Every structure is written in C-alpha cells, then in structure tokens.
Chains A and B, each alone.
Chain A
Amino acid sequence: GQQVMQIPQYQHVQEGEDFTTYCNSSTTLSNIQWYKQRPGGHPVFLIQLVKSGEVKKQKRLTFQFGEAKKNSSLHITATQTTDVGTYFCAGPRDSGGSNYKLTFGKGILLTVNP
C-alpha cells in the first residue's frame, strides 16, 4: 500500500538556524499537505500543494512539491522557539485525490534550543 516517509523523526536546532525536512511518497500524489502538531496538541493544517513543482511560502516557512509529485520539502528560515512541534506530511490514499483518507508520515519532531 501507499507509504509516506519522513526521515529522520527528530531534529534539534539552535534558535536562528535554518531547518529543512523532506517527505517521500511511494506513489504519485494528487496533492500533499503539511500539518503541525505542538507537544500535547492536535495536528493543525499548514498548507496544501497541488501542482508539480509548486512552491508556497508562509512567513519563514517554504513548502515545495516535487516535479514528480512524489516528494515534498519544508524549509524554515531562522527557526524560533515557536516552531517547536512535530511536522507531518500527508497525501490522499486514493487516486482520485480526495482528502478524506489521508496517509500521514510519522512526522519529524523539531526542537529548538533558545
């Protein structure tokens, strides 16, 4: 079945450093989404990418969808302690692309040393 992989599962950075993480799918995705889960919290939707090669920015966060629509990246510029949390990527499981059945990666826990 479809797999969405995020490696590594943990990353520790010094405040102010940049951070990049990657997400790889075993199948081509119609879209890819990123969620953030703060410690003790619930996943919160960040962004959705649909087009091949699409790049979207949210303040210090830059998201990219790969040309083959099988991978994605999240880059954070000048990390802050507010960036702490687990970042999940997720893609629709069915070929139609409807978001009702998402496959999530295991996530990467980002910790930031002040």
Chain B
Amino acid sequence: DTGVSQDPRHKITKRGQNVTFRCDPISEHNRLYWYRQTLGQGPEFLTYFQNEAQLEKSRLLSDRFSAERPKGSFSTLEIQRTEQGDSAMYLCASSLTSYNSPLHFGNGTRLTVT
C-alpha cells in the first residue's frame, strides 16, 4: 500500500491558464474523490467516482472544472481559465466500495493563481 499519490505537489499559474492535476488512488480502492481545501477550512467535496463512472458533482464545481477517471484507476482534474478564487489545496482521496469505508487522502496539489 503506497498510499494515494498526487502530482504535482505545487502549481503556480497565471489567471486564465488551464491546469491539470493527477491522482493515483490506492490500487484496490474503487472509489475516488476530489475535495478542495482553503486556509482555515475543512475539505469541501467536489466530485466522486465509482470505478470510471463520475456519480456526483458538487455545485462548487463550475463548468470550468472537469474530472475524469478513464480506466477506473488514476484520475485527472482540469481547471480551465483559472481564476484567483481557484487558489486552494486540491485533495484526492480514495476508499473501498463498502459502506462507511474511511477516506484515504493524498498529499494534495496546492494551486496558486496569480
């Protein structure tokens, strides 16, 4: 068990640019989640995959955000036309399918939009 891996750890981009983050979940975990965390706040749910199917998206996820998990393994989160308000830590987590399985978080990708 190597844990949940996220890449990159840090990303600085200029407003208006597109960015893409990658998440590799724990290999036997079918569920994959994206959360966003800003300073002084707890993580906020963005979206969730069961295998390759994206089952729910938060209203926080505007049309500029898109997430994929094409083969049910790794996932990518893309933000188009970044805005300063997108600056945050983007956390990926994974879990087993069984009810009430706890979330295992990755180290996150810290995005700074200048």
Name the A residues within 8 Å of B99 (CB-CB). Answer: 97-99
Q: How large is the interface on B (under 10, 10 to 19, 20 to 34, 35 or more residues)?
A: 20 to 34
Give chain A interface residues in 87-114, CB to chain B under 8 Å.
88, 90, 93, 97-107
Contacts of A42 in B (CB 8 A): 91, 105-108
The 8 Å CB contact of A106, one of B42, B106, B107, is B42
B89: nearest chain-A partner, CB-CB:
A42
**When the two chains form the complex, which single residue of A41, A44, A90, A106 contacts B41, counting CB atoms closer than 8 Å?**
A106
> B100 touches which one: A88, A93, A97 (CB < 8 A)?
A97
Interface residue A26 (Cβ < 8 Å from any Cβ of B): no
Residues of chain A at interface, number, CB under 8 A:
26
A50 at interface, CB cutoff 8 A: yes
* Cβ-based interface call for A77 (8 A): no
Main DSSP-derived SS at the B contact region: loop
- Chain B positions within 8 Å of A101 at CB level: 45, 48, 56, 58
Nearest CB in chain A: distance from B52 CB, A: 15
Mark out the residues of chain B between 57 and 114 whose CB falls within 8 Å of any chain A CB in the assembled complex.
58, 91, 95, 99-108
Q: List 26 A-B contacts (CB under 8 A).
A: A4-B42, A35-B105, A41-B107, A42-B106, A42-B108, A43-B43, A43-B103, A44-B105, A45-B103, A48-B100, A50-B100, A88-B43, A90-B42, A93-B45, A98-B99, A99-B95, A99-B100, A99-B103, A100-B33, A100-B56, A102-B103, A103-B45, A104-B43, A104-B44, A107-B41, A107-B42
Binding site for B on A (CB under 8 A): 4, 9, 31, 33, 35, 41-45, 48, 50, 88, 90, 93, 97-107
